[in-house]
Amino acid sequence: MSVPSGQRSASRRALLTAAPAVLLVVLVIGAALLTALLQSLGFLPVFGEARFSTEAWADGASLLESAGVSLYLATASTALALVVGFLVAAYALTAGRGGRLVAALSAATIPIPHLVASGAIGLLLADAGFLARVLGMPEGFPQLVGDSWWAAVILEFAWKESAFVALVVLGGIGRPVAELTETAATLGASARQRMLHVILPLARVPLGVAGLVVFVYTLGSYEAPWLLGPVAPEPLSVRAVRLFGSVDLSSRPEAMATALTSVAVALAVIGLGLLLTRRSRRRSRAQSGVSS
Amino acid sequence: MSSSLTFDAVSHRFGAEEVLRDITLCVPESSCVALLGASGSGKSTLLRIAAGLLPPSAGQVRIDGEDVTAVEAEKRETGLVFQRPLLFPHLSVVDNVAFASRMAGGSKAESRRQAREYLELVQLADYAQRMPGQLSGGQEQRVALARALARRPRILLLDEPFSSLDLGLREDMYELLETIREQLRPTIVLVTHDRREASVLADTIAVLEHGEILQHAPVAQIHHQPASPAVNRILGGLNEVLGVIRAGVHHSALGRITVAPDTPDGPALLMPRQESLQLTGAGEAPARGTVTQIRPSGAHTLVRVTLDAAADQERVDVAVEVTGTPRLSRGDTTGVGLRGTAGWVVPL
Ligand SMILES: Nc1ncnc2c1ncn2[C@@H]1O[C@H](COP(=O)(O)OP(=O)(O)OP(=O)(O)O)[C@@H](O)[C@H]1O
Ligand SMILES: [Mg+2]
């Protein structure tokens, strides 16, 4: 396929305009990653002599365990946030005034910092927390904070991020969908069918994008697991922050190794996500019979 | 499979604004009623109420005499085609048309087979596999029509479905609607602001203005016997001649014109359509006047004449539609007469 020269020069110009920004991002992130890598290999010690060492990476079992916990947390939180966020968006689109109220309430949670939200969830769900007291069952109340399933952490992430998901979905599909759901209603589709057969397929792309963002964010965020999770095992984010803030300055390389593992997991997931979206786009194009 | 539709004293308000006022209208089984009105007169609102997308503030909607006001849109068995096609962008043409059957629990294969029949009806069978974005506007609108028909609605509601199409396509759609009426005999409510479209497609026309029905009558009758000057104007009538009725005869600058014998004496407006008037030689005519404007429009010409009035009469301008181009120019004197014998008046 040949590209017309006008188009080629236009795309070159677009590339040139974007270049300064891209360069800056690549420089900053590249430098940070390189520093982290060097430090994890013992080249940039806080004190003492630079010396190559893979010691920081030696405790592979513990790194892997942390990675596993992080993956579990991010996956569960993202899945729950996607479901709740989609339901909120669908309700906002179809339920008129009541729906707009729900959307506004959900959007109002976005500026609350995760630290504050985690604290609130802790006060609400802890063994001696608000809910347990209100329900009058300090004994029988399930352990949600600091439990081995990380329930409170996942709930906190899902609550906060579902608002973000709802906002992205609403922005991504918006008003035309309200008209399409009305059309579906006149064609005999029940409320549930309208949600599954009209809103969900149209929200697939915004859901995918929001899901990737939420996943990467929850992977790197440490406040909620640090406040609401059990002491051990640690997810990567908590481990990295603990090691980085440790009084023992020699644990700095290990902190860097942990952070780099987290980056690697995030990059792998982003790559997988992009691959999946591209494939689904290609499939839908093939379905519609367009050759490209 | 068709049913009658009745609006019984339906009113609707958006906040403080009363959009529909006490609408009572009956659409008999298998007939086509056109709702004709200017933009903002409440046509779409009435249709949305009929489809169950909007609960009316007051009044009832009845299908075959049964009150369906509280029945939700998905259970109401009405098909609605909007001004824009609103095809589902994630479904192919055939799956758009198969949508209603799928939602009703039909299998994929059977739903698609039925959908193809409706696509054939709108002559788009060859386009079944395309996505909506790959159709022209007229094709999309035809798919939307097929999709609504595939639900086999008892009542088909059309909200200005052809207004975005060019003239040629619109004629094609009129043909298509004719075919559909012959083959499926649905009850149709057609919303339009185009009086020609209303006249071509409908059996009766209901004129809506500011949320009220001014008149509902068969097409020819509403043109020639409008209930008020407003209806006359909405249907394109250009003439209102003020005069006096005495013993069943209207006296005005247009001469003496016989009207219905039971018309009470007194002042009355005569409303002859421009198509019902003719120009005659100045000598023999009962009414004469001066040509003030000649406006050609294709095969017809509209001639405006200021009639000579007696001392006790109002000055009157009338418009006369003439076939072809008349041999007249501004300032000429001409006679004007009514084709036929009886006139239509509205007492003042
Ligand atoms: N959702 C709404 N909220 C408030 N006012 C509305 C709403 N929908 C319609 N209206 C008002 O109701 C009136 C009638 O609207 P409607 O859409 O029924 O007009 P229409 O006759 O279909 O006009 P058009 O020919 O332009 O489509 C208008 O004045 C409009 O502003
Ligand atoms: Mg309208």
pLDDT in tens, B191-202: 999 999 999 999
Annotation: CATH topology of A37-43+67-291:
MetI-like fold (1.10.3720)
Q: What is the pLDDT of residue A291?
A: 38
Q: Do B130 and B194 lie in a common domain?
A: yes
Q: What is the pLDDT of residue B140?
A: 93
Q: What is the pLDDT of residue A292?
A: 35
**A-chain residue closest to B157, CA distance:** A186
Closest to B347 in 3D by CA, of B276, B277, B260, B236: B260
Residues of chain B contacting A281 with CB distance shorter than 8 Å:
none
pLDDT tens string B150-182 = 999 999 999 999 887 888 888 988 998 999 999
What number of CA atoms fall less than 13 Å from residue B86's CA on the CB side? 24
Which residue out of B43, B80, B197, B213 has the highest number of ligand 1 atoms within 8 Å of its CB and is therefore the one to mutate? B43
Helix residue ranges per DSSP H, A95-202: 96-108, 114-125, 130-134, 151-186, 191-194, 200-202
The pLDDT confidence band at residue B290, using thresholds 50, 70 and 90, is very high
Q: Is the CB of B192 under 6 A from ligand 1?
A: no
How far is it, in rounded angstroms, from Cα B76 to Cα A265?
52
**A-chain residue closest to B84, CA distance:** A179
State whether A187 and B103 contact (CB < 8 Å). yes
State whether B103 and A185 contact (CB < 8 Å). no
Closest to B270 in 3D by CA, of B243, B304, B296: B243
Among A186, A192, A281, A292, the residue to mutate for chain B (most B Cβ within 10 A):
A186
Q: What is the pLDDT of residue B294?
A: 94
Q: Do B248 and B180 lie in a common domain?
A: no
Pairing of strands B287-297, B333-338: antiparallel
Is residue B254 within 8 Å of residue B287, measured between CB atoms?
Answer: yes
Examine residue B178 and state whether it is found in any structural domain, yes or no: yes
**A-chain residue closest to B129, CA distance:** A288
Residues of chain A contacting B76 with CB distance shorter than 8 Å:
186
Q: Do B148 and B198 lie in a common domain?
A: yes
**Which domain covers residue B49, as residue numbers?**
5-224
Closest residue CA from atom 17 of ligand 1 = B44
> Would you give the DSSP letter of residue B126?
G
Q: Do B326 and B289 lie in a common domain?
A: yes
Percent of chain B whose pLDDT exceeds 90: 77
CA distance A224 to chain B (A): 38
Interval between CA B160 and ligand 2 midpoint (Å):
7
Examine residue B68 and state whether it is found in any structural domain, yes or no: yes
Q: What is the pLDDT of residue B201?
A: 94
pLDDT truncated to tens, each residue of chain A (292 aa)? 455 556 677 778 888 888 888 888 889 988 888 888 888 887 777 777 777 777 777 777 888 888 899 999 999 999 999 999 999 988 888 776 777 777 777 777 778 888 888 888 888 887 777 777 777 766 667 777 878 888 888 998 998 899 999 989 988 887 788 889 999 999 999 989 999 999 999 998 899 989 999 999 999 898 888 888 888 788 888 888 888 888 777 778 888 888 889 999 999 988 998 888 788 777 666 555 443 3
Interval between CA B75 and ligand 1 midpoint (Å):
25
In the predicted model, is pLDDT for residue B85 greater than 60? yes
Tokens describing residue B46: 């009435």
The CA-atom distances, in angstroms, between B71 and each of A168, A188, B50, B62, B154 are 34, 12, 10, 10, 14
Q: Do B247 and B180 lie in a common domain?
A: no
Is residue B119 within 8 Å of residue B127, measured between CB atoms?
Answer: yes
Among A94, A183, A196, A285, the residue to mutate for chain B (most B Cβ within 10 A):
A183
Q: Is B216 helix (H, G, I), strand (E, B) or coil?
A: strand
Give strand pairing partners of B267. B244
How far is it, in rounded angstroms, from Cα B180 to Cα B30?
11
The CA-atom distances, in angstroms, between A72 and each of A151, A254, A286, B14, B291 are 11, 22, 34, 50, 89
What number of CA atoms fall less than 13 Å from residue A259's CA on the CB side? 20
Q: What is the pLDDT of residue A51?
A: 76
Q: Do B96 and B220 lie in a common domain?
A: yes
For the stretch A49-53, contacts whose Cβ atoms lie closer than 8 Å and that sit 24 or more positions apart, written own/partner, are A53/A253
How far is it, in rounded angstroms, from Cα B274 to Cα B338?
10
> Would you give the DSSP letter of residue A198?
I
Q: Do B22 and B113 lie in a common domain?
A: yes
Q: Which of B224, B255, B272 is the last residue of a domain?
A: B224
How far is it, in rounded angstroms, from Cα A105 to Cα A162?
12
Q: Do B47 and B172 lie in a common domain?
A: yes
How far is it, in rounded angstroms, from Cα A150 to Cα B118?
55
* Cβ-nearest to B103 among A180, A182, A193: A193
In the predicted model, is pLDDT for residue B212 greater than 90? yes
Is residue A207 within 8 Å of residue A169, measured between CB atoms?
Answer: yes
Q: Do B64 and B188 lie in a common domain?
A: yes
The domain tally of chain B equals 2
Percent of chain B whose pLDDT exceeds 70: 100
Closest residue CA from atom 24 of ligand 1 = B39
Q: Do B35 and B122 lie in a common domain?
A: yes
**By a Cβ cutoff of 8 Å, what residues of chain A touch chain B?**
179-180, 182-190, 193, 197-198, 201-202, 284, 287-290
Examine residue B70 and state whether it is found in any structural domain, yes or no: yes
Tokens describing residue A142: 């399930």
Measured in whole angstroms, how far is the alpha carbon of residue B205 from the centre of its chain?
5
Interval between CA B82 and ligand 1 midpoint (Å):
14
Sequence spans of domains, chain A: 37-43+67-291
How far is it, in rounded angstroms, from Cα B81 to Cα B127?
20
Mean predicted lDDT score pLDDT of chain B: 92
Structure-model confidence comparison of residues B242 and A40, the more confident one: B242
For range B25-34, the mean pLDDT: 96
Q: Compute the CA torsion angle A217, A222, A227, A231 (nearest 10 deg).
A: 120
CATH number at residue B56: 3.40.50.300
Examine residue B232 and state whether it is found in any structural domain, yes or no: no
E-strand stretches of B232-280? 241-246, 249-252, 255-258, 266-270, 277-280
Q: Do B24 and B170 lie in a common domain?
A: yes
Q: Do B145 and B46 lie in a common domain?
A: yes
Which residue out of B11, B13, B17 has the highest number of ligand 1 atoms within 8 Å of its CB and is therefore the one to mutate? B17
Q: What is the pLDDT of residue B46?
A: 95
The pLDDT confidence band at residue B57, using thresholds 50, 70 and 90, is very high
Within 25-64 of B, beta carbons closer than 8 Å to A belong to 51-53
**B-chain residue closest to A187, CA distance:** B100
Shortest-distance ligand to the CA of residue B46? 1
